[in-house]
Chains A and B, each alone.
Chain A
């Protein structure tokens, strides 16, 4: 059910839109309430909190070719004059410039997607504790097991002259971190599940626990990679990391507006091997960024960004789309009600191919299977890559040698990497447990994924 507080403020929002409409050409109000339950069971410290409870409003107004916003805790009793005063600029540095005004289509709708599992705190604690205790029985070098169950219940309303929307959706993440120590040699490994159903997330968490520990132990003997160019097979998480970091940021169309993206010159041209399809959208799959409408009040989309290697389009928030004369794609997102909207990715993934994973491994003369997202960074203007995998498994003559390298940094030029893709597996996995910043701030929940990809890349 939609949070009672934001629901109760819909009439207030409508009144404020009407009042502000006398002084401004465009007015919209976003109300948001995110209830987050976090249960952490660990070797040494436990906690059970309701934190990150973001609850507030942002009012967006337009007049004289400029947008202004006001973020506050509540809109009940808030006068239009207070907002006018807060956003008034008596003295400001700016060259003459007029942004266009947003045009909206009428839309009134309520959306709902809730966690079907009704688990008590005790049931969740018991399931987390069972996994932690079992792992400790299996490995004496295991010094810490950290588990966490996080359920976010998001309620939002969007009210403008033409729109009145509400949505409530849940998303659950369950994380496991194992830390092993052999003298001064300390290594850690993790898994993170993201599901719309608590029961499913906890099931997957338990299923993967042994692998998480075994890989952490193996990492104790991992060696650094010898820098060079290698054949790589990326697991779905690394495929997703490449989709997101190497290419996704470059097609965020607020970057097009700022002339910050090389991609703007490549629409309709090959940017990848013809084997490559790529998608983004809150409606592209059910994952961490699957909302019903974005923070501009635009319905969720499924945008095909790359089709058979050719760049089709970017993704956009409403303002960027208007500036560029295109349709918004439902990618306008705020970190929270205190922050500005930017074009942001949602669920970003490469489409499936026709190859079998086993055939891909067999085809490698010497290279690595790169596994598990560590981190990455975008460079949309100059298309340099930095994607880091937690570890890589050596393949020689089509077979795993048992050698592990860790960590592994993929670097180089985006287009070279995407063009080198020569095999694409036939199954796609999307991991719904990530967060993404823009630059070094503005964190939002995202997912990414794809099939296994075979490519050539510089590792270091």
Chain B
């Protein structure tokens, strides 16, 4: 693979290139694949991915084309690729936008020296520590432990380096009720080694598989009409991302946004802040793909839109004064409400949580829910819920318990009323 200095030399040698951005990602990972508690395959990945954005700009327009540098390239082939990219950039003109300016270059020298094999083995032990039930077991597990080094360089002198680390676990728990076996799906990622949390996550999903094995259908229970519906994890993250996407500069530029600054999203006084990183959120990062160093932006304050965010291209188009960069993780702060004493329905696991940002439709087929009838929880399966998120958000409430996903931290549950259950 060509060295960074060689790639930069090629970029500088082409006088038709008015500006450039170079992204380099080094990935070193160790992966373990289990069937039951038997290791079937282990994998090691050591790869470098290099992409270059070539700009051909004048004061009114920006032409840009992306290319990828591979191990097949040398200086001669890259020079040829860059010439072709210049031609492509001239054919795909957009309104002018500037590149990130050099202010402070991030030099994250704190690359950890973790032995990835040992970490992967510890993760495996933490997973199988939860595998203690007679009628339930972990059917298959995939563990990915990765270290990344990311570099961003542009022709304005921006030169960032950051290091990151990520653990990903996919786990399929199964539970037998002696007549039939039932399974659920769990995938989670984190940027910190919290083995206790891994064991807790696996134990929780095993017990949810147990609940599914005893689940009833809607025919077996009569749900009250004013039932509160609680969503968490993937669906909650989808909802937060829907609003974050709507408040991205890009949506306003594309004219397909539902909200603008000053609009009231909800009667509930919640805050939504986009952040570069949160401990435990696997999607955290320090700068975006245009090299903008990221800083937090409060999008919604007390239920009202206060700010938007996004990358330098669309921020420039929208005449934003301070460009935030594309922020990857979201945090909600809200006063939690008491819900546990009255009947409610917790959606534990969707088949595939759906949310259409254009229309606002959200819902899906529920693999497992827990219905609290005022006295006890009853597991339910085989039904669907549906709503319109832009209407349902108006009276949303939040739990006091805290939760976290790869891209979200905040209340564990969003609590809705009037959701269609069928």
Which residues of A pack against B, CB within 8 Å? 3-5, 33, 39-40, 44-53, 55-56, 66-74, 86-87, 89-97, 99, 121-122, 125, 143-144, 179, 181, 184, 186-188, 219, 224, 227-228, 257-260, 338, 340, 375-377, 379, 381-382, 384-386, 388, 406-407, 409, 411-413, 439-441, 460
Q: Give bound CA distance, A259 to B35, whole Å.
A: 10
Q: Give bound CA distance, A380 to B171, whole Å.
A: 15
Name the residue on B nearest A407 (C-beta): B361
Kindly state the interface size class of chain B when it binds its partner: 35 or more
The interface-forming segment of B9-17, B106-114, B276-284, B348-356 is B348-356
Chain A residues whose CB sits within 8 angstroms of the CB of B361 once the complex forms: 224, 407
Quick check: A5 and B38 within 8 Å, CB to CB?
A: no
The interface-forming segment of B116-124, B300-308, B371-379 is B116-124
Q: Give bound CA distance, A96 to B254, whole Å.
A: 57
Chain B residues whose CB sits within 8 angstroms of the CB of A439 once the complex forms: 170, 185, 187
Quick check: B68 and A93 within 8 Å, CB to CB?
A: no
Quick check: A144 and B174 within 8 Å, CB to CB?
A: no
For A71, give its contact among B41, B47, B381 (CB under 8 Å): B47
Quick check: B42 and A48 within 8 Å, CB to CB?
A: no
Q: Give bound CA distance, A318 to B51, whole Å.
A: 34
Quick check: A227 and B356 within 8 Å, CB to CB?
A: no
Q: Give bound CA distance, A92 to B345, whole Å.
A: 41
Beta-carbon contacts under 8 Å, B20-69 to A: 27, 31-48, 51, 64-68
Quick check: B39 and A409 within 8 Å, CB to CB?
A: no
Chain B residues whose CB sits within 8 angstroms of the CB of A3 once the complex forms: 72
B258 within 8 A of A: yes
Quick check: B384 and A71 within 8 Å, CB to CB?
A: no
B172 within 8 A of A: yes
Chain A residues whose CB sits within 8 angstroms of the CB of B34 once the complex forms: 94
Beta-carbon contacts under 8 Å, B132-159 to A: 139-140
Q: Give bound CA distance, A69 to B120, whole Å.
A: 15
Sample of 13 A–B contacts (CB below 8 Å): A49-B66, A50-B81, A51-B51, A70-B45, A91-B121, A93-B37, A94-B38, A97-B40, A338-B45, A382-B182, A384-B367, A409-B364, A411-B351
For B41, give its contact among A69, A73, A96, A386 (CB under 8 Å): A69
B5 within 8 A of A: no
Q: Give bound CA distance, A382 to B139, whole Å.
A: 14
For B351, give its contact among A52, A66, A179, A379 (CB under 8 Å): A379
Beta-carbon contacts under 8 Å, B368-422 to A: 381-384, 386, 390, 420, 422
Q: Give bound CA distance, A188 to B128, whole Å.
A: 45
4 closest A-B pairs by beta carbon, nearest first, are A227-B422, A97-B38, A377-B352, A5-B72
Known: A86-B44, A89-B117, A91-B121. A49 touches B88 (CB 8 A): yes
Quick check: B358 and A186 within 8 Å, CB to CB?
A: yes
Chain A residues whose CB sits within 8 angstroms of the CB of B422 once the complex forms: 227-228, 460
Quick check: B420 and A227 within 8 Å, CB to CB?
A: yes
Known: A227-B420, A386-B351, A407-B359. A184 touches B258 (CB 8 A): yes
Chain A residues whose CB sits within 8 angstroms of the CB of B255 once the complex forms: 143-144, 181
- Separation in Å of the B255 CB from the closest CB of chain A? 5
Chain B residues whose CB sits within 8 angstroms of the CB of A91 once the complex forms: 117-118, 121
Quick check: B72 and A55 within 8 Å, CB to CB?
A: yes
For A47, give its contact among B64, B172, B381 (CB under 8 Å): B64
Quick check: A87 and B367 within 8 Å, CB to CB?
A: no
Quick check: A375 and B183 within 8 Å, CB to CB?
A: no
Name the residue on B nearest A41 (C-beta): B92
Chain B residues whose CB sits within 8 angstroms of the CB of A66 once the complex forms: 39-42
Quick check: A73 and B139 within 8 Å, CB to CB?
A: no
- Separation in Å of the A82 CB from the closest CB of chain B? 9
- Separation in Å of the B399 CB from the closest CB of chain A? 24
Q: Give bound CA distance, A122 to B90, whole Å.
A: 11
Q: Give bound CA distance, A440 to B349, whole Å.
A: 13
Q: Give bound CA distance, A303 to B47, whole Å.
A: 35
Name the residue on B nearest A55 (C-beta): B70
Known: A5-B71, A93-B128, A224-B386. A381 touches B89 (CB 8 A): no
A to B contact number (C-beta, < 8 Å): 240
For A188, give its contact among B42, B45, B140, B358 (CB under 8 Å): B358
Q: Give bound CA distance, A186 to B388, whole Å.
A: 13
Q: Which of B84, B117, B120 has the most CB of A within 10 A?
A: B117
Known: A53-B68, A55-B71. A179 touches B35 (CB 8 A): no
Q: Give bound CA distance, A165 to B248, whole Å.
A: 47
Quick check: A379 and B367 within 8 Å, CB to CB?
A: yes
* Known contacts A386-B351, A441-B187; 4 further A-B pairs (Cβ under 8 A): A51-B66, A55-B70, A71-B46, A439-B170
For B365, give its contact among A48, A56, A409 (CB under 8 Å): A409
Quick check: A409 and B44 within 8 Å, CB to CB?
A: no
Chain B residues whose CB sits within 8 angstroms of the CB of A45 once the complex forms: 94
B256 within 8 A of A: yes
Quick check: B93 and A460 within 8 Å, CB to CB?
A: no
Name the residue on B nearest A74 (C-beta): B71
Chain B residues whose CB sits within 8 angstroms of the CB of A375 once the complex forms: 352, 354
- Separation in Å of the B248 CB from the closest CB of chain A? 14
B337 within 8 A of A: no
B291 within 8 A of A: no
Q: Give bound CA distance, A228 to B386, whole Å.
A: 13
Chain B residues whose CB sits within 8 angstroms of the CB of A179 once the complex forms: 254, 256, 358
Known: A53-B70, A386-B364, A411-B384. A71 touches B359 (CB 8 A): no
B181 within 8 A of A: yes
For A67, give its contact among B41, B87, B185, B253 (CB under 8 Å): B41
Chain A residues whose CB sits within 8 angstroms of the CB of B221 once the complex forms: none
Name the residue on B nearest A91 (C-beta): B121
Known: A67-B41, A227-B420. A384 touches B139 (CB 8 A): no
Q: Give bound CA distance, A50 to B383, whole Å.
A: 44
Quick check: A68 and B139 within 8 Å, CB to CB?
A: no
B299 within 8 A of A: no
- Separation in Å of the A246 CB from the closest CB of chain B? 11
Quick check: B85 and A50 within 8 Å, CB to CB?
A: yes
- Separation in Å of the B72 CB from the closest CB of chain A? 3
Chain B residues whose CB sits within 8 angstroms of the CB of A56 once the complex forms: 47, 70-71
- Separation in Å of the A3 CB from the closest CB of chain B? 8
Known: A74-B1, A143-B256, A144-B254. A381 touches B91 (CB 8 A): no
Chain B residues whose CB sits within 8 angstroms of the CB of A48 once the complex forms: 65, 88-89, 91-92
Chain A residues whose CB sits within 8 angstroms of the CB of B35 once the complex forms: 97, 257-258
Chain A residues whose CB sits within 8 angstroms of the CB of B42 once the complex forms: 66-69, 87, 89, 92
B325 within 8 A of A: no
Quick check: B46 and A260 within 8 Å, CB to CB?
A: no
- Separation in Å of the A247 CB from the closest CB of chain B? 15
Quick check: A460 and B384 within 8 Å, CB to CB?
A: yes
- Separation in Å of the B142 CB from the closest CB of chain A? 8
Name the residue on B nearest A337 (C-beta): B47
Quick check: B38 and A95 within 8 Å, CB to CB?
A: yes
Quick check: B358 and A460 within 8 Å, CB to CB?
A: no
Chain A residues whose CB sits within 8 angstroms of the CB of B1 once the complex forms: 73-74
Chain B residues whose CB sits within 8 angstroms of the CB of A55 once the complex forms: 68, 70-72
Chain A residues whose CB sits within 8 angstroms of the CB of B93 once the complex forms: 46
- Separation in Å of the A205 CB from the closest CB of chain B? 19
Chain B residues whose CB sits within 8 angstroms of the CB of A67 once the complex forms: 40-42
Chain B residues whose CB sits within 8 angstroms of the CB of A93 once the complex forms: 37, 39, 121, 124-125, 128
Quick check: B354 and A33 within 8 Å, CB to CB?
A: no
Q: Give bound CA distance, A97 to B124, whole Å.
A: 16
B328 within 8 A of A: no
Quick check: B31 and A33 within 8 Å, CB to CB?
A: no
- Separation in Å of the B230 CB from the closest CB of chain A? 19
